[in-house]
Amino acid sequence: MTEIFSGSFTQQEPIPDEAIEAAVSVLRHGRLHRYNVAPGELGETALLEQEFAAWMGVKYCLAVASGGYALATALRAVGVVPGDPVLTNAFTLAPVPGSIASVGAQPIFVGVTEGLTIDLDDLAAKADQAKVLMLSHMRGHLCDMDRLMQICDTAGITVIEDCAHTMGAAWNGVASGRQGAIGCYSCQTYKHVNSGEGGLLITDDEKLAAKAVMLSGSYMLYERHLAAPSPEVFERIKYHTPNVSGRMDNLRAAILRPQLCDLDAQVTRWNERYRVLEEGLRGTPGLTVVERPEAETYVGSSIQFLLLDWATERVNEVIRRCGARGVELKWFGGAEPTGFTSRYDSWRYVESKRMPASDRVLAGIIDMRVPLTFSLADCQLIARIIRAEVGAVYQS
């Protein structure tokens, strides 16, 4: 009998009861705006910032409306202006080049390796073309951050880390988001903490932190932040920094705070599922498992594998056959973007040059979400289905 998987690839776990109770409390008192607090009240958003800063071991944190907004705010804070070139990954999601375009800057794409990380040789070759790198840790894969920072420090490049898929990850023990000047995180439903939408920005630089707070729309209420610089820092920049409102509200912050307390345990659960899938796929003819470096501490909330040098119709057949058995795969090699699977040549508002080596990798990337609603037995079943269908098409 042919095995079928009947689970959902988009169904997340319920919001924890403690988070629901905190959200209801906010709804009952009605003070949703982050600066609308009662006398002596600290506010859920300010507390979330303080707690995330402590969890990350960083001085400053700002909660905002989305991960994409955090990226655009980071660009403005480091001084990117219209027309500036900004280096970024060829393999990333649309909000990354979108944030660069939103401030009028020009993305310059850097290639991708078979490890699905930024091509550091290509970065070194392009290091003289821009003064800012927006580094996307796409789908949770961390490059050799020691070498990357050496390249960027030597070239005078400021690094902004897009950590939408790496909240809880690390390179050689250094948390993702702590090596660059600014780290940006997403709290969108399919990320590691879920408020539907939302973002977090961290930095140890007091001027960048103050500018980010002002940019987010503080209306001179910056003293109500608990993970921000002293008022003296704001006095130096407050009249010269525009308000580009994008604050997080107290409702979403209330939902996130209990989830942050559980994040370490959730990371362990994701990685248990990831390892079952990885071992189930390893050794499949025609399929390349993306090996994780020893220095990388990852969060396996999604898994990728490569069908390198496969013809388009054969990849489509794998996706069709797996889909017929309930396994939802996404492919980055399609001619047209579908859902989130766009590539650097999909973003036609950007002038880009072909990168044949990267195009080969992109054409082979297969992606799959790993919700925590999956059991380990589910993951074993999914791996068996993928293995069988890849093998059938490969041998046909």
Profile the chain (396 residues) by mean pLDDT over runs of 10 residues: 92 96 98 96 97 98 98 98 98 96 97 98 98 98 98 98 98 98 97 97 98 97 97 96 98 98 97 98 98 98 98 97 98 86 89 93 97 98 98 94
**E-strand stretches of the chain:** 60-64, 85-89, 106-110, 132-136, 158-162, 170-171, 174-175, 182-186, 199-203, 288-289, 296-297, 302-306, 330-331, 365-369
pLDDT for the residue 184: 98
pLDDT for the residue 365: 97
pLDDT for the residue 229: 98
- The sheet with strand 199-203 has its strands ordered as 60-64, 199-203, 182-186, 158-162, 132-136, 85-89, 106-110
How far apart CA 201 and CA 67 sit, in angstroms, is 8
Give, in degrees to the nearest 5, the angle at Cα 244 between 33 and 75: 120
**271, 300 in Cβ contact below 8 A?**
yes
**Placement of tokens 């994008």 in the chain:** 246
Domains and CATH numbers, the chain: 17-261 (3.40.640.10), 263-395 (3.90.1150.10)
Q: Which phi and psi angles does 289 have, rounded to 5°?
A: -75, 140
The model's pTM is: 0.97
Give the CA diameter of the chain: 71
3-state secondary structure of 2: coil
Neighbours of 288 (CB within 10 A): 16
